[in-house]
Amino acid sequence: MDFVKRHKLLSIFLQILIISIIYLFLMAACQGLPDKINVTPTLNNSPVTKTPTPQKSATPTPQPTSQFQVDASELEGVSIEFWHTWGGDEEKTITTLIKDFNRSNEWGISVSGVYKGGADAMGDAVYNAINTGGFPEIVMGYPSQASYWNSARKLILDLDDYRTDPVWGLSTEEEEAYFPVFQLSAETPDQWGFPAQRTAYFLIYNKTWSKALGYKTAPQTPKEFEIQACEAHKANLNDEDDENDTKGGLIISTNYPASVGWIYAFGGDMVADENKGYQFNTSQVKGALTFLRSLYDDGCAWVSDSRPPVEEFSKREGLFISADLDTLNLLNTSMFIANSPDEWEVIPFPSSEKPVIEVYGPDFFILKSEPAKQLASWLFIKWLTLPENQAKLIAVTGKLPLQIEVLDSLDMGDLPQPDWQAVVDLMPYARAEPALPSWGVVRWAVGDATTQLFQWYFEADQIPSLTKLLHETAANLHKNYP
């Protein structure tokens, strides 16, 4: 074959080869490419396994631990005794509540309640039991009483430890449900207890008479109070009744809660910084006492021997009186007997800063025993102060709620005082009495000083000496208190 012929054959062969390659390429494109090309080699025909990516393990949430080291199973069958001061219908109610707790509590705790009379009888009973043995697990009393009991034997537990326990205590939501005045205050030492019952001290104002005198609203400040009180005195001075010429305005109470209310209204704080005793020799205390004595000297206030002076108030011998919750029923009865059409209302102590009502009352205390009994006692107290249980007690005692949610469980028609709600509405203005244990005796010194303030021989310029003497007396009483 010559060269030309060989060249032609080679050209034809190359053309056929190129056409074949193009054909194969086009066929592969029409069939599509595989989704994934596996380039991982296999050994011995074994399936390929993908190594998982290491994951960070979640940090376990720490479980709360109680400081009391008492297992719930140890509460089964625990019996505790509770001494209280609720008598009459109140005793029937607390007895029913105790039965409800014994029947329904999940731990199998059993409580027995014992009525021990009033506050003074309770104080003596607990003190004697501590000295002779046979004391209960839970008692009801005042901080000053608890301090006295503790002076005999160190048996009173600090319930703030239970209140703040991460397992058995109050949650943040439960603590914040209490009115601010009843919430935990870590700044108050040696209080030990947990609120059991509270009442309030406030003012009552004859708004019908005030409107007749030309005033549309209750006084908001001491100056407005003075103006209306003096106008009421002038009205009595100028009427046809000669017997009421020295009356009208404020009917003064020398009871210490009224004095405390006025001191608070003038911005006073009777407890010294860091709870180191009392401070009565201050400008605020002097201001409150000067204000009251000035009203008295001007005839715009007078002192009654009646406690409370509801009859005098019903006869318009006073535009204002100070009162507590128990006074409300007495006043309603007195107004009915006097056939008075006047309407009255509850108001706080007026202030240039913030109006005030004073609240006070007994606490629950737990006495040292076995850890399981102590915890069981706390669980009963915690249950008893639930809103629905408070509501049942308030229906017969007429005292204040500790939490606003109590109102949801109350039938207002069952309350003994029809004006109870008006006092509860003033709770944002509530301030507590001093929580120092010595207050149980110091408060009487405050009452004595107030009595001296309105003696015929006392002069207004003696007020600085009076507050100084009260300050020194309180310091001595506090220093020497058990």
Cβ-based neighbours of 279, under 8 Å, separated by 6 or more: 269, 270, 271, 272, 471
Among residues 250, 218, 246, 427, the alpha carbon closest in space to that of 343 is found at: 218
Q: What is the pLDDT of residues 256-294, one digit of tens each?
A: 999 999 999 999 999 998 778 999 999 999 999 999 999
Q: How confident is the model at residue 418 (pLDDT cuts 50, 70, 90)?
A: confident
* Cα–Cα dist 428/349, whole Å: 13
- Cα–Cα distances in angstroms (integers) from residue 379 to residues 79, 168, 177, 373, 481, in the given order: 12, 8, 18, 10, 32
Would you say 149 and 128 are in contact if contact means Cβ atoms under 8 Å apart? no
Span 456-475, pLDDT tens digits: 999 999 999 999 999 999 99
- Whether residue 460 contacts residue 297, with contact meaning beta carbons closer than 8 Å, is answered with yes
> Which whole number is the average pLDDT over 347-356?
96
Give tens-digit pLDDT for 313-351.
999 999 999 999 999 999 999 999 999 999 999 999 999
Residue 138 reports pLDDT greater than 80: yes
CB 188 within 8 A of CB 219: no
- Residue 147 makes CB contacts below 8 A (sequence gap 6+) with 190, 437, 438, 440, 481, 482
Looking at residues 148-171, what average pLDDT do you find? 93
Amino acid at site 60: P
The whole-angstrom separation of Cα 111 and Cα 78 is 9
Specify the pLDDT at position 191: 66
Residue 346 pLDDT = 97
377 pLDDT more than 70 = yes
- Comparison of pLDDT for 35 and 75, the residue scoring more: 75
What is the predicted pLDDT for the residue at 8? 41
pLDDT at residue 202 greater than cutoff 60: yes
Which residue from 177, 185, 182, 161 is spatially nearest to 388, judged by alpha carbons? 177
Instruction: Report the pLDDT averaged over residues 444-449.
Output: 97
CATH number of 200-360+437-479: 3.40.190.10
Q: Of the given ranges (80-89, 178-187, 193-202), which has the lowest mean pLDDT?
A: 178-187
Structure tokens at 373: 């009994």
Range with the lowest mean pLDDT among 41-55, 172-186, 274-288, 390-404? 41-55
- Of 460, 472, 436, nearest to 192 by C-alpha is 436
Task: Specify the DSSP element, H or E, that contains 82.
Answer: strand 79-84
96 membership: H or E segment, kind and range? helix 89-104
Contact yes or no for 416/329 (Cβ under 8 A): yes
403: β partners: 178
pLDDT band at 55; cut points 50, 70, 90: low
Residue 168 pLDDT > 70, yes or no? yes
Percent of all residues in the chain with a pLDDT value above 70, rounded to a whole number: 85
Token output for 379: 């669980």
Confidence label for 187 from pLDDT (cuts 50, 70 and 90): very low
The CATH label, of 3.20.20.140, 3.90.1150.10, 3.40.190.10, 3.30.565.10, for the domain at 74-198+361-431 is 3.40.190.10
For the chain, where do the domains classified as CATH 3.40.190.10 start and end?
Answer: 74-198+361-431, 200-360+437-479
The answer to whether the bond into 143 is cis (omega within 30° of 0) is: no
List phi, psi (to 5°) of 152.
-75, -50
13 pLDDT higher than 90: no
> What is the pTM assigned to this prediction?
0.83
Percent of the chain with pLDDT over 90: 76
